[in-house]
Structure 1
């Protein structure tokens, strides 16, 4: 198993030229992966940190910034989708269980934006519901920072 992981890391290092491009690639991949595109940025952060351990904190912070900006873009996509929907249909959507939960907890639900599969749609729904933008972005940043910190720390511990 470890040989396979080492082979995958070597492949990613060569394919993405991570040691040369480094933090710029981490930022772009983290930003794109926070939109509704099905992509993960944690492996890229881990590979960069394994290749250059001195970039642990810069990689965490750059990935957090890129992923948070991507979450903010997704918030605006949800906001725009809701406005387009309202203009086309001329009525408000029914309160469903998830929308009620989001309304009740407000911007704090964006703390869960780090979750796989449901995290990015949560950001879009926050925009759809017109939850306050900056508090949503702040909660996104906290959740995403903790995810990158935990995932990268565990990953680097495995490769030590």
Structure 2
């Protein structure tokens, strides 16, 4: 039972980390791997949670209520406009970079505001977020193997 709760907690932490809530889901991922959780399930939970959190930011932008975004999520209009200007014409693959700390959330919101194609955005967002967690999982698992030999 506690194993399932661990995966659910990772999912929630990863979801929250993909919103404007300042949280590092990588810490949860690493801790779970160090505690012996299954690397594939851990990778999947973190990726899907973070992806769904990123999609929630996209849909928040899609609502088009910039006042809400500024008031409740403290993402400044200037930051979103800057992201929008850089994204224009590259909406599809730019979603790949929504995993980046600090600018990933405004990118996702700007994609929503721009009414970027949802399926294209969702696909590239999933690839980017999954790749990030795959790298963290690989480094952590290999690090554990390396230091367990010492």
What is the TM-score when the length of structure 1 is the normalising length? 0.75
Supply the RMSD in Å over aligned alpha carbons: 2.1
Q: CA deviation at 1:43?
A: 1.0
1:41 alignment counterpart: 25
2:92 alignment counterpart: 107
2:49 alignment counterpart: 66
| Contact 1:107 1:126 survives alignment (8 Å) | no
Q: Which runs of 5+ in 1 are unaligned?
A: 1-17, 86-92
Matched residues, number: 133
* 2:60 is the alignment partner of 1:77: yes
Give the whole-Å Cα distance in 2 for the aligned partners of 1:20 and 1:69.
Answer: 19
* Structure 1 runs of 4+ with >4 Å offset: none
Give the whole-Å Cα distance in 2 for the aligned partners of 1:28 and 1:99.
Answer: 28
1:116 alignment counterpart: 101
* 2:116 is the alignment partner of 1:131: yes
What is the TM-score when the length of structure 2 is the normalising length? 0.79
Secondary structure, in 3 states, of the residue corresponding to 2:98?
helix
Give the whole-Å Cα distance in 2 for the aligned partners of 1:72 and 1:60.
Answer: 18
Q: Which runs of 5+ in 2 are unaligned?
A: 68-76, 146-150
Distance of aligned partners of 1:120 and 1:97 in 2 relative to their CA distance in 1, 3 Å threshold:
closer
Distance of aligned partners of 1:141 and 1:19 in 2 relative to their CA distance in 1, 3 Å threshold:
same
Distance of aligned partners of 1:97 and 1:116 in 2 relative to their CA distance in 1, 3 Å threshold:
closer
